[in-house]
Amino acid sequence: MEGIEHTRVEVNGINMHVAVKGQGPVVLFLHGFPELWYSWRHQILALSHKGYRCVAPDLRGFGDTDAPASVDSYNCVHVVSDLVALIQSLQVEKVFLVAHDWGAIIGWYLCLFRPELVKAYVCLSVPFFRRNPTVPTEEGKVEAEMAPLGAEYVIKNMLTNRRIGPPIFPKGEYGTAFNPDMTEDLPSWLTQQDLAYFVSKFEKTGFTGGLNYYRNFNKNWELTAPWSGAKIKVPVKFIAGELDSVYTSLGMKDYIESGGFKEDVPGLEEVIIQPGVAHFNNQETPHDITNHIYNFITKF
């Protein structure tokens, strides 16, 4: 895509695929599930033309980055260690951080563990989680339910979902999964070429790497005990769609609106709720998200 350079960087004992474009201050993009660096294609092109060096890795277990076999390899310490090593390889002291979905969760961990590496954080969809235990997903079960449907069905089903409510994996047969209203036609913001790129990568890797992030909720809870009650003081801008399945469940909307979010994240400067927009807002409203990112990071 228009001059994007693809490299492999050795980080924390694995080889990480990284898409890079532009020169200037570094903007580090972190994707979610079931996504890849490609989820940031619009922002990479736009912000690189505005004088930024855009860096978007495939996180461990995704795309062309190595996928360690053990579930424990996907806990927050390992994934944040990947990012620390990546930042060091860029030979910069700090980065602007932009992240979505599981990338957003990892972004919060990076801000918690190594705040000195982050100039400012634009967080999409998933606010900071107070430290609570969560029952993990049963290993292997979800993959077995997804397999008969194929990667294209699963990815299309998830990316086009506009149902509000808990973003949880269905129990029993995968069936219509998150999105029983899925149609044959793709939304205007997702082309067949876009879908084909995601599918081509997940057909090779499967979904296990991405699902292993969910399987580490309890482990992450154990590992973050020393940071219990810690505050996020990095400057933050938070953006979510009003139809986002995270924003509309798990008490998140009340947590954000009641002031709990600001209490836990004193660095929170802006909250943007996009009318009529669902979970994958970086792809659904690319120009809006790009403008929000640019307007925030130019302040620093």
Residue numbers annotated as active site: 101, 214, 279
Cβ-proximal residues to 139 (8 Å cutoff; 6+ apart), any chain: 71, 215
> Strands, E, within the chain: which ranges?
5-11, 14-21, 26-30, 53-57, 95-100, 118-124, 236-241, 268-274
Q: What are phi and psi of 252, to 5 degrees?
A: -65, -40
Pairing mode, if any, of strands 53-57 and 14-21?
antiparallel
Cβ-proximal residues to 130 (8 Å cutoff; 6+ apart), any chain: 260, 264
- Per the listing, tokens 């089903």 go with 157
How far is residue 289 CA from its own chain's centroid? 14
Left (φ > 0), alpha (ψ -120 to 50) or beta: where does 153 sit? alpha
Are 21 and 38 within 8 A, CB to CB?
A: no
Cβ-proximal residues to 17 (8 Å cutoff; 6+ apart), any chain: 6, 7, 8, 37, 57, 58, 63, 64, 65
How far is residue 238's CA from residue 128's CA, in Å, rounded to a whole number? 10
Q: What angle do CA 10, 204, 125 make, to 5 degrees?
A: 75
How far is residue 72's CA from residue 141's CA, in Å, rounded to a whole number? 17
